[in-house]
Amino acid sequence: MRTRTGGLLIGLAASAIAGSVVVLAAPVVARDPAGHEVRLPAPPTRIVTLLPSLTEDVCALNACGALVATDRYSNWPTEVRALPKAGGLEDIEIEQVVAVHPQVVLLGHVPRVAERLRSLGIPAIELETKGYADIARTLAVVGALLGRSEAARELGQQIDAEVARISAATRARLAGRAPWVYYEVDAGPYAAGPASYIGELLERLGARNIIAPDLGPYPKINPEYVVRRDPQVIFIAPAEVTRLAQRPGWDAIRAVREQRVCSFPPDVRDTIVRPGPRVAEGLAALAACLERVAP
């Protein structure tokens, strides 16, 4: 999905002085869901992001050039791969963050890290996107920080429109079919339940989740649970596709027996599991595979 967010100068004031035009950047204010507020005299030009979806949000709003470091998993767009990496989601490297002198740090809900950064005088905004509705809310906060609130609003509307279009088209092509599906997020096995972000996407496409809602968003399950629930479609990592029939009892599952299995390369999987501006791409990938293999 392509978005047109470039060329929008939000919060800028221009004044003519001695025949020339001087563009003055207005102060920005951003507040995260926990109430932490960041005030800067102008949009930041040195930002650290510590969550891939937040890196993608910043870049989707045409501010990639302001990034000075990211987490190690941020890999889109390609230009962010060359930036310094400040650890992962569980092992954030405070020293690396400090070393690049950021004006602000965007991270998930990691209070211990956020408070440490604030104690060092580095503003931090905690933005954990757990569900589809959080995508627009997170974009709004990032947009406010970048002085691009209108661009963020327009991007959110474009995302909603594209998601609605893909969902409606897929349901129409399935023609009333509502296949039972199992999405494995890790070979634990850990599953994506109905309350998870991935579960939300599957529901939008008309699929039914074999995982009971009371098990939580991403429960670790007994493999026998999947055998008993007998899904019609399985979403799984490419490396596990040829091993499914070797799992005890799984050769009797309809999806395995009839080879109704979906898997995605890492770059496509990223668009599915990250609640960010590329959600429509991820939804389209799920839809295409579902339409192809669902009975």
Give the up-direction half-sphere exposure of residue 88: CA atoms within 13 A in the CB hemisphere.
Answer: 2
Are 5 and 60 a contacting pair, CB within 8 Å? yes
| CATH code, residues 177-293 | 3.40.50.1980
**Mean pLDDT (whole number) for 60-77:** 98
Query: Where do the domains of the chain lie?
Result: 12-154, 177-293
74-94 pLDDT, tens digit each = 999 999 999 999 999 889 999
Are 71 and 58 a contacting pair, CB within 8 Å? no
194-248 pLDDT, tens digit each = 999 999 999 999 999 999 999 999 999 999 999 999 999 999 999 999 999 999 9
CB contact set of 193 (below 8 Å; sequence gap of 6+): 199, 209, 211, 212, 213, 215, 216, 217, 218, 219
Q: Which CATH number fits domain 12-154: 3.40.50.1980, 3.30.230.10, 3.40.640.10, 3.30.70.100?
A: 3.40.50.1980
Are 47 and 40 a contacting pair, CB within 8 Å? no
Q: Are strands 20-25 and 28-31 parallel, antiparallel or unpaired?
A: unpaired
Residue 24: per-residue pLDDT: 60
Q: Can 12-154 and 177-293 be said to share one CATH topology?
A: yes
